[in-house]
Chain A
Amino acid sequence: MPEQVLLEIGLALAIVAFAGILAARFRISIVPLLILAGMVVGPHAPVIGILDFRFIKSAPLIDFMGRVGILFLLFSLGLEFSVGRLLKAGRSILVGGSIYMAINFTLGMVLPIIWGWPLRETLVVAGLISISSSAIIAKVLVDLKRTARPETEMILGLMLFQDVFVAVYLSIISGLVLTGSASPPSVLKSTSLALGFMLGLILAGRKLAPLINRLFNVPSDEVFMLMVFAFLTLVAGFSETIHVAEAIGALLVGLILAETDHLDRIEHIVVPFRDFFGALFFFSFGLSIDPLTLGGAVGPVLVAVAATLTGNFLAGIIAGRMAGYSYRGCTNIGLTITPRGEFSIILANLAKTGGLLPVLQPFAALYVLLMAILGPLLTKESKWIYNQLAHLFGWPAWKEINKPDRTI
């Protein structure tokens, strides 16, 4: 009955909103709470009166809205993404970013290989472990009032570097995972198709930028929005038909539109949609996970969390020192880059679509849950952590600042 579906969606939104309130109250990221909320409800949950917490009838709809959420998340990433900006950020970011990705990606590859997971699963886990959540990190920096600190430039530069990595990696992975075959020729074919599609669209976008500029030059905000979203959904949908992840299609549309004159206007309209559907994406991901399956993932997740924290911290120290930051600044870099979020979940979702080992979803859920909570917490306590390490390694102490004497 349609009325029931509407009520269920309303209930889901109420839960999502409640998670938001809790997140704001306890000053933590909303992402882990949304996943947690999604896991708590679901087919195993009770029905209380008219409130059906099982979400059976509305599950396909919530799932679909979550898919739309991915589109918007990647679309806004594409809008933000800029190779020109990255090059401008300078050599220290390129070097630091390479070190950072190399350390984390190697760790991400080694662990699943030790566990004996197959190749495609290994690659998904490697991506899942090495890609930080730029959304959580930006928020943490703002919340902790660290935007003015010198090393914040480096942290955000690393995120910029990582975005480029995400774009390339996602296209490779989607080629690998979505074709459903592991034979080298077909993998090569699908991966090159994905990369070719990407390059083709980017080139076409550049060539057609003046045309797109004119086409989207409509005074009505309403029509403008409809045109942008139609473009987004069409390209994403088309990507899917040629076995390129729809997320990549969305990313590409973002990249193309970022080159046009309408960037500011688009960024303005996309934010509320990204936040709304993005929240439902995390919720729907949680909903798709049966909490009882989490048990099997606990061991690997704990190892992965420990490895990620160590790897990120080391990478932060090395990259930071090379760029000439103080040990204090480097500690902040190494701790701030630890949260994981949207990309890890997107990869896990991709793995599900491609029919990879089902353990990947609870693994990703638990991993993100821990990292999204631990990361910001460690970032907040960076001063204490630094002082402990300073003791150990003989770094200069983080002295308490003498407040200037205000009395005259």
Chain B
Amino acid sequence: MSNAVQVKNLSKSFKIPHEKLETLRGSFVSIFKRKTHETFKALDNISFSIKKGEFFGILGRNGSGKSTLLKILASIYEPDKGSVKINGQISPFLELGVGFNPELSGRDNIHLNAAILGLTPDQIKRKFDQIVAFSELERFLDQKLKNYSSGMQVRLAFSVAIHADKDILLMDEVLAVGDSNFQKKCLDEFNKYRRAGKTVILVTHDTDIVKKYCDQALLLRKGRIKTMGSARQTANEYIFQNMSDEEKRLFEQVESQENQRNQLSPGKSGWLKDIAKIKKIEFLNPKGKSQKAFQTGDDIIIRLHYQTRQPIEKPVFGVSLDAGDGTHIVGPNTQKSSRAPKLIDGSGFVDLVIKENPLNLGLYFVTAGLFNKDNTLTYDFKSKKHSFKIITIDESQDGPIKINFYWKEKQ
């Protein structure tokens, strides 16, 4: 059998009572009331399999069902429907050291944690020195755990978990606490694990780790599998999912700011829009198909649809492009362009064509404005209301733009 984990049509829901009945009195009283509870579907018909020796990532936002899935894999929770087949022994690592006791010394905690993870006294005796060496905590071994930093606790916990030497290692979001040095050490250890034909399942928010180390990954959203496949592809999908949520948030923010402004000066808003306005902003590919995501190097057409009540001579259209973090990239306008419209009347559109865009992976906001010929009058101004995404295959560069470069060495 080559599958380490096989999950079929797995569903799990939780009943969340509107008022938690924790006392007898509460439940006596509630006999006479209609019981109300919501059913929360934490996992909804999920199927996937993980091969032996695979480094598998599980991505998802808070509340997407990640932890529930992990707890079912670790058989802490019982599934409602579906089946979970685990081929081999699991070493679950859902928190900093299961059963760690702050009042005990590091040494006692190693014994305790190892016993909980199912090591026999013999195994513990044999591996004790290795565990201590890996954690690099020799000097602190007889101090109480409560005097350890959280990073030190993770190191200790991780060392025990990795030396439990089970077939499947289940890891929940713990690497975040260690310093980068130790993180690297852990990940190298994962790789060793994998080479030994063992399976590592990692739940994380860190898309970089997923891209770098995982073979396959799964993205959960609201209890369902959104994407499953290569780690890179899944991680990118997760980045975009977060971006579009971020986009929504920013959009709402801008909207409410604008509303506030309108409320503050009701007379001023809109009167110029009666003369001319930007009705719509579209992003198109060279074939004229509207889309929201492009790849680095694609041609991008930003189309501004306008409408006027009266003819406007030599109007100025301007577009500003900003990166998701607010960095201003570029702001072309039609004032000095030879192809600028001479006169607009009624409705129509102008296109800003970006040839072979140099933008890097990320979300970009577009601000568009329509002004009179000397730029003294603003007809319409749409600030960061629209955005598009850039997907990129080569992720060797960071920052908002990509340049063509190479290194040359003087012989």
Is B truly associated with A? no
Chain A positions within 8 Å of B, measured between CB atoms, are: none
